Amino acid sequence: MKILLIIGDRLGEYDPLTANGVTAGLHFGDVTLLAAGPNNQKKAEQAATIKGVSEILLASHPALQKPGVENLALQINKLTPSFDIIMAVTSTFGSDLIPRVAALANCSPITGVSAISKNHALTRPINAGAVLAQSALPKTPVFLTIRPTAFPAACKTATTNAKITVIDQAYESNLSQHTTYRPSANIRPDPVAAKVVVAGGGGLQAGGSFELVEKLADRLDAAVGASRTAVDMGLASNDLQIGQTGRSIAPDLYIGLGISGAIQHLAGIKDARMIVSINSDPNAPLHGAADYALTADIFSAVPELLKK
């Protein structure tokens, strides 16, 4: 089978989780990458040494430099007949792009794939992770987003044999117009790729800020995450939300501060290797899911942890 994996974009830069997408793509066959948008040449160079990549398509038209993925979706639609599977990693970028490409081909995408069997059956969590749905690979073309935390990153090689092919044509959509761009101010590691994540929830409300979470995260070189309540309260930005409608993470260590552990939040941390919960309520569901649970007030327990 011929696979087209779109190189991930994170605020105009190469998304290293592309390497996890390659591992998933290699379950099906030969993986070709598409580098498009801002810094596409640099993205192609960064991805070229991923083991298993046979070819990189470099889409260079200025129309693809514009923010938004409408033009890119049109471009990929023209490439669809040459491939059996078109895929991207589940991220803000991939989740925006792949459904558009699928719709242009009159197909339904399969999103958040977390496992691929030997006979190419696809598994993905549904109902906030309470159920795993398995489906046979549909008739091609197939459009997928892949949970990066469910597949290890493909290793890098010292040199590359990937052939680079430039595609010049572009297709412009006038359906939407971009007005402003306000990048997130998060300068800490990306929670999806981080080994340690410190997340804060509604329990932070009394402090009126996320400072406690950030202090512990910085001490541990960790990423910051948040529950939806913390985001809704304006304590954390949307891109830090973890869970069913946020992002799924798989760190070695997750520390939840003042997070109850609602099923929708647990859906995003079920692949974490160790869960620590600090909550004043001994019956908080996150305590039940945790490897270590500390029943304490975060406003005294965290400063004490920092001191130690």
Ligand X SMILES: Cc1cc2nc3c(=O)[nH]c(=O)nc-3n(C[C@H](O)[C@H](O)[C@H](O)COP(=O)(O)OP(=O)(O)OC[C@H]3O[C@@H](n4cnc5c(N)ncnc54)[C@H](O)[C@@H]3O)c2cc1C
Interacting residues with ligand X (CB under 6 A): 201-203, 206, 227-230, 241-246, 258-260, 262, 264-265, 268, 279-281, 284, 297-299
Contact 71, 173 (CB under 8 A): yes
Name the residue nearer to ligand X (CB basis): 73 or 249.
Answer: 249
Radius of gyration, CA atoms only, the chain: 20
| Smallest gap from residue 261 Cβ to ligand X (A) | 7
| Smallest gap from residue 96 Cβ to ligand X (A) | 17
C-alpha span between 5 and 9 (Å, rounded)? 12
| Smallest gap from residue 238 Cβ to ligand X (A) | 10
Name the residue nearer to ligand X (CB basis): 17 or 204.
Answer: 204
C-alpha span between 306 and 208 (Å, rounded)? 19
| Smallest gap from residue 125 Cβ to ligand X (A) | 13
Say whether the peptide bond before residue 303 is cis (omega within 30 degrees of 0): no
The length of the chain in residues reads 308
Residues 10, 12, 14, 20, CA torsion sign: positive
> Which residue, chain included where needed, has tokens 């011929």?
2
| Smallest gap from residue 139 Cβ to ligand X (A) | 31
Name the residue nearer to ligand X (CB basis): 27 or 247.
Answer: 247
C-alpha span between 197 and 275 (Å, rounded)? 10
Name the residue nearer to ligand X (CB basis): 75 or 248.
Answer: 248
Name the residue nearer to ligand X (CB basis): 111 or 140.
Answer: 111
| Smallest gap from residue 298 Cβ to ligand X (A) | 4
Calculate the CA 220 to chain-centre distance: 22
Q: Which candidate, 80, 105, 93, 89, places its Cα nearest to that of 4? A: 80
| Smallest gap from residue 141 Cβ to ligand X (A) | 30
Name the residue nearer to ligand X (CB basis): 100 or 228.
Answer: 228
C-alpha span between 18 and 90 (Å, rounded)? 10
| Smallest gap from residue 239 Cβ to ligand X (A) | 12
Name the residue nearer to ligand X (CB basis): 18 or 277.
Answer: 277
Name the residue nearer to ligand X (CB basis): 8 or 246.
Answer: 246
Q: Give pairs for 14-18: CB < 8 Å, separation 24+.
A: 14/39, 14/42, 14/43, 14/46, 14/47, 15/89, 15/91, 15/93, 16/46, 16/153, 16/193, 17/89, 17/91, 17/148, 17/153, 17/192, 17/193, 18/47, 18/50, 18/89
Indicate the pairing of strand 223-226 with strand 196-200.
parallel
